[in-house]
Amino acid sequence: MRRYINFKLIILAALLTAGLTLLSGCGKATAAPAFGALHVAGTNLVGANNQPAVLHGMSTHGLQWFGQFANSGAFADLKKRGANVIRLAMYTDENGYLSNPGLKEKVFSAADAALAQDLYVIIDWHILHDNNPRTHQQEAVNFFSEAARRYGSNPGVLYEICNEPNGSISWSGDVKPYALAVIPAIRASAPQAVILVGSTTWSQDVDLAAQDPLPFSNIMYTCHFYAGTHGKWLQDKIDAARNRGAAIFISEWGTSAADGNGGVFLDSASQWLNFLAARNLSWCNWSLCDKAESSAALNPGANPNGGWTEGNLSPSGKFVFAHF
């Protein structure tokens, strides 16, 4: 009899605990993004309670061209489909921020729209044709100082300081010195924020970065892949970096080839997503726009404000949205 009562008590306690956990989870969802303030523990991204945090979402295309898709309606549609992060690609070159500094206001208003819906948001200094991040290091320091002053205490904001360094530059001689200048500018106002750092060869050389890591906490190294171009050899570089203790974030990947077109290569993309899932790696897909290229998630003419039908989704968009 006594045993039986104890058993009943244990069940009651378990039910109560489960109920309370559920309730507190609901409360949090409306007050802050899903995992609360993020930080890096070992090679893992974790939330405020040290729970594993896995972010899945979209990167915008260049905001100077497709900024109309970075708005509340579009973000609400993505959230409804399961996304929890938005990456804002602020190109520096190609009529981006350096020649059009007003683009910054687009970044801030889009970030505000994402944060208002409890989405995480990545502010991406999208270097590409300006291959060496050191070329515009001072502009980056100024931009990120301002962004961090604006969002410093917000648990939803991640800072990505250089999209894809490329060309004949090195991690230790170029990208690392750049990061050593930019990161303290962010940390001055956002001491805990997670900061994402690219590497050479369009953010593929994460293994080289891991051999000469940055001396800061809450840093992740970005690795970018395109399913039609990058295979197991790039996965091996990710594992090599992680084995050295580097935390990896896939802030950009596409179902297409590396030029943003061709394919789509959905078998390879599935294989990649399995690889990422097995390691709890977070990702953003390229890209949220309706450009006539295969990596675009939306067919030409899709409403920039969301509410997309199946017919508005490209083959890439259908595949990616089903994997949030």
Taking the complex as a whole, the smallest distance from the CB of residue 276 to ligand DCB amounts, in Å, to 17
User: Is 164 an active-site residue?
Assistant: yes
Nearest residue to ligand DCB on Cβ basis: 260
Could you tell me if 157 and 111 are in contact, meaning their C-beta atoms sit under 8 angstroms apart?
A: yes
Nearer to ligand DCB, 218 or 251 (CB): 251
Taking the complex as a whole, the smallest distance from the CB of residue 39 to ligand DCB amounts, in Å, to 26
Residue from 36, 213, 260, 315 binding ligand DCB (CB under 6 A):
260
Taking the complex as a whole, the smallest distance from the CB of residue 122 to ligand DCB amounts, in Å, to 13
In order of 193, 213, 234, 278, 315, the CA distances from 227 in angstroms are 30, 27, 11, 17, 14
Which range of residues in 101-109, 213-221, 251-259, 298-306 is near ligand DCB by CB under 6 A?
251-259
Q: Is 268 in the site for ligand DCB (CB under 6 A)?
A: no
Nearer to ligand DCB, 126 or 187 (CB): 126
Nearer to ligand DCB, 53 or 248 (CB): 248
Q: Is 132 in the site for ligand DCB (CB under 6 A)?
A: no
Position of tokens 């949090």? 28
Which range of residues in 12-20, 103-111, 152-160, 257-265 is near ligand DCB by CB under 6 A?
257-265
Nearer to ligand DCB, 43 or 201 (CB): 201
Q: By CB under 6 A, what part of segment 156-175 binds ligand DCB?
A: 163-164
Residue from 229, 270, 271, 299 binding ligand DCB (CB under 6 A):
229
In order of 23, 76, 85, 109, the CA distances from 82 in angstroms are 20, 10, 10, 22
Nearer to ligand DCB, 60 or 282 (CB): 60
Q: Which of 94, 146, 160, 164 is catalytic?
A: 164
User: Is 139 an active-site residue?
Assistant: no
* Binding site residues, ligand DCB, CB under 6 A: 94, 128, 163-164, 202, 226, 229, 252, 258-260, 286, 291, 293, 295
